[in-house]
């Protein structure tokens, strides 16, 4: 672990801190000119696979913004490749999985013994940790089994998750097998990230909000819980993040994750209340508010801090990732604003 005494790590453990730590999901990305310059020379996958480049992009974003944590530059879908499912990013579109998983034969073929081939991500984490020493905590991440399964089955992004839900409903043995394989690979991969220096692991369950509470509990919760428990053996606190998740929050908390990510659709204090005010929460400004003028943005950020009320265990973030056209100046100003707010917390 790089910075176990940092504000961010202490806030993840719901310990009292002098001020609210802040970082942003997707803080390194296309909205940032420095990233676009690197992207001109290299594809996204090339950046991910070259530890020096991934480390540079990670470090630059954290330093330009002045945030309280760095998140390793990688992509959620990298584990698919080592499981035997190649994918690519089509120009102007999202990811495309070449041969989507549609049945038990496809699932049987998926490999779980090649997670070590993702070692380039841990290598990049090592480089970032070497750069920051204990000055900045490091976040590793992986996809949650549901969200990764949805990409594997749909073959890319989806609107209605028809193939995914069809498998869940019609062949629950195949579904459980797939989820088990994803947990095996992502738990090994994330534990490697912790060994390389990551202080905290964030599990992205970006699309889990398409499920009813009953389906979440039946088809997802046991596997997400298995993943969280395995990762907790590393000693790193776990952030479990989903969107459209207001109805799922108390079930998501049953995984045992120390921090629950809140999207912007629910007021922060209401979300925390649904979690019985236990543990820590991360969020939850609408990323589109970063397109507004500062005079609109500031009171909205203030409102989130007010709702958190200085209680231990709030990490300021957006309710989802920074969008490509976001004005960088607003992101920087928001970061400074949150960091300058220490008086209001006592």
The residue ranges that bind ligand CP3 (CB under 6 A) are 26-30, 39, 44, 71, 73, 75-77, 89, 94-95, 141, 157, 204, 206, 320-321
218 classed as catalytic: no
The residue of the chain with the least Cβ separation from ligand CP3 equals 206
Q: Please, which residue, 156 or 312, has the CB nearer to ligand CP3?
A: 156
On the 0-12 / 13-18 / 19+ scale of CB atoms within 10 A, 113 is exposed
> In 3D, which of 45, 66, 48 has the Cα closest to residue 57?
48
For the bound state, the minimum distance from the C-beta of residue 342 to ligand CP3, rounded and expressed in Å, comes to: 26
Which residue is listed with tokens 């989802």?
320
Q: Cα(186)–Cα(112) distance, rounded to whole angstroms?
A: 9
- Are 201 and 69 in contact by the 8 Å Cβ rule? The answer is no
Catalytic residue among 19, 26, 199, 216: 26
Active site annotation includes 303: no
Buried b (16+ CB within 10 A) or exposed e, 189-199: bbbbbbebbbb
241 or 272: CB nearest ligand CP3: 241
Question: C-beta of 201: minimal distance to ligand CP3 in Å?
Answer: 12
Sequence-distant (≥ 6) Cβ neighbours of residue 37 within 8 angstroms? none
Instruction: Give the whole-angstrom CA distance, residue 198 versus residue 137.
Output: 7
Q: Please, which residue, 139 or 221, has the CB nearer to ligand CP3?
A: 139
Comparing CB distances to ligand CP3, the nearer of 71 and 196 is 71
Closer residue to ligand CP3 in complex, CB, 89/337: 89
C-alpha span between 101 and 163 (Å, rounded):
9
How near is the Cβ of 173 to ligand CP3 at its closest, in Å? 27
**Shortest distance, position 306 Cβ to ligand CP3, whole Å:** 26
Cβ at position 61, least distance to ligand CP3 in Å: 6
3-state secondary structure of 201: strand
| Residue 39 annotated as catalytic | yes
Say which residues have a Cβ less than 8 Å from residue 78's Cβ, sequence separation at least 6: 48, 118, 121
Nearer to ligand CP3, 14 or 87 (CB): 87
Question: What region does 121 belong to: left with phi over 0, alpha with psi -120 to 50, or beta?
Answer: alpha
Cβ atoms of residues 203 and 261 within 8 Å: no
The one catalytic residue in 30, 102, 217, 306 is 30
Tokens of 102: 């549609």
| CA 28/CA 323 separation, integer angstroms | 11
- For residue 95, give Cα distances in angstroms to 84, 91, 159, 264: 16, 9, 14, 25
Q: Which is nearer to ligand CP3, 24 or 219 (CB)?
A: 24
CB of 77 to ligand CP3, least distance (A): 5
Burial class (CB in 10 A: 0-12, 13-18, 19+), 299: exposed
The CB-of-157 to ligand CP3 minimum distance in angstroms stands at: 6
Whether residue 151 lies in the annotated active site: yes
CA 324 remoteness from chain centre: 17
Establish whether 169 is a catalytic residue. Answer: no
Kindly name the residue from 31, 68, 126, 151 that is annotated as catalytic: 151
User: Which residues participate in catalysis according to the annotation?
Assistant: 26, 30, 39, 75, 151
């Amino acid at each position: 672990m790089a910075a176990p005494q940092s504000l961010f790590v202490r806030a993840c453990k719901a310990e009292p801190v002098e001020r609210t730590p802040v970082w942003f999901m997707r803080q390194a990305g296309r909205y940032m000119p420095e990233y676009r310059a690197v992207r001109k020379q290299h594809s996204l996958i090339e950046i991910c696979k070259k530890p020096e480049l991934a480390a540079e992009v990670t470090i630059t974003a954290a330093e330009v913004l002045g945030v309280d944590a760095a998140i390793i530059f990688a992509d959620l879908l990298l584990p698919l490749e080592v499981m035997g499912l190649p994918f690519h990013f089509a120009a102007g579109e999202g990811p495309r999985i070449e041969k989507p998983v549609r049945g038990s034969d496809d699932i049987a073929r998926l490999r779980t013994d090649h997670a070590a081939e993702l070692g380039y991500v841990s290598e990049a984490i090592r480089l970032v940790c070497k750069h920051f020493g204990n000055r900045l905590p490091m976040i590793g991440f992986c996809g949650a089994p549901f969200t990764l399964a949805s990409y594997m089955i749909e073959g890319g992004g989806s609107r209605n998750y028809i193939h995914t839900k069809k498998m869940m409903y019609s062949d629950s043995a195949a579904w459980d097998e797939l989820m088990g394989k994803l947990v095996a690979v992502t738990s090994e991969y994330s534990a490697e990230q912790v060994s390389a220096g990551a202080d905290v692991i964030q599990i992205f369950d970006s699309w889990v909000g398409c499920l009813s509470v009953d389906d979440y509990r039946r088809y997802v919760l046991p596997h997400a819980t298995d993943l969280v428990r395995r990762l907790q053996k590393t000693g790193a606190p776990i952030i479990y993040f989903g969107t459209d998740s207001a109805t799922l929050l108390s079930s998501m908390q049953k995984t045992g994750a120390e921090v629950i990510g809140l999207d912007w659709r629910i007021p922060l204090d209401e979300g925390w209340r649904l979690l019985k005010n236990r543990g820590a929460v991360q969020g939850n400004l609408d990323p589109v508010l970063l397109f507004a003028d500062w005079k609109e943005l500031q009171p909205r950020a203030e409102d989130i801090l007010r709702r958190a009320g200085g209680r231990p265990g709030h990490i300021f973030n957006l309710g989802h990732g920074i969008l490509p056209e976001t004005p960088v100046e607003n992101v920087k100003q928001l970061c400074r604003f949150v960091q300058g707010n220490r008086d209001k917390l006592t």
